[in-house]
Amino acid sequence: MVHGFGHSVSKLSRANGHGANDSELITKVMIDPVMGGTGMRGNFVTFLKEKPVTEEVES
């Protein structure tokens, strides 16, 4: 996913309302043992093409 889009603030006119916000998909973080930082790409997403309804997923 391309990062930086779908922001909710109207003053960020390029990102506001355009595309999807990938950071909204982050439901959990994992600690990288080598550098101690948080990895945010450990989330699984499900594409619902047939019935695109919002699903609450427990993290």
Partner 1 sequence: MRYAMAIDTKKCVGCSDCVVACQTENNVPHGYCRDWIVENVAGSYPNVEIEIRSERCNHCDNSPCVRCCPTGASHIIEGGIVKVTHNECIGCGACIQSCPYDARYSHPDGYVDKCTFCDHRLAKGQSTACVEVCPTNCLYFGDLEDPNSDVSKALKNREWKVLAPEAGTKPQLYFLT
DSSP single-letter state for residue 38: E
4 touching partner 1, by CB under 8 A: yes
31 touching partner 1, by CB under 8 A: yes
Angle CA(59)–CA(9)–CA(3) in degrees, nearest 5? Answer: 55
Shortest distance (Å) from residue 50 CB to partner 1: 29
Shortest distance (Å) from residue 45 CB to partner 1: 16
| CA 23 – CA 13 distance, rounded (Å) | 18
Shortest distance (Å) from residue 44 CB to partner 1: 18
